[in-house]
Amino acid sequence: MPYALLLIGAVMLVAGLRGTHKDLWELVKGDFTDQGGFITWVAAIAVVGGMGYIPKLRPLSIAFMTLLLLVLVLSNGGVFAKLQAFIQSGAGGNAPHNKAADLGSSIGEKVADAASHAGDYAAIAANLGAIA
């Protein structure tokens, strides 16, 4: 439990530092309040699990819990459809990668960024010269 609280704290700290805390709040609020969200699944699992404490309903509870887990896995667009789309996309990491082209474009971006801030650098240098 302490690790979970540390993880939640770290997520909240990073969201606060990045200024995305409002997006994080909307995401969490949507998980709890949307139709078919977290609360619905927790309630269903609690009811079916509670049925398991009655000895005569235990087999029925196990069957419904299995059904719930199956629906959880297969919902949200379907695991098999997403797996098939992943396989068809050719994502596997076997494609050759041109690191030199990435390095060249990265260097080009850095040079263009520095050139765009050249006026800022000149103003800083002028202010430093005025101070000295």
pLDDT of residue 19: 87
Report the alpha-carbon distance of residue 118 to residue 122 in Å, rounded.
Answer: 6
The string of pLDDT tens digits covering residues 13-61 is: 988 888 888 888 888 888 777 776 778 888 888 999 999 999 999 999 9
pLDDT of residue 84: 79
Report the alpha-carbon distance of residue 16 to residue 69 in Å, rounded.
Answer: 35
Report the alpha-carbon distance of residue 81 to residue 77 in Å, rounded.
Answer: 7
Round the average pLDDT of the chain to a whole number and report it.
77
pLDDT of residue 76: 66
Domain ranges of the chain: 1-34, 36-80, 98-132
% of the chain at pLDDT higher than 70:
64
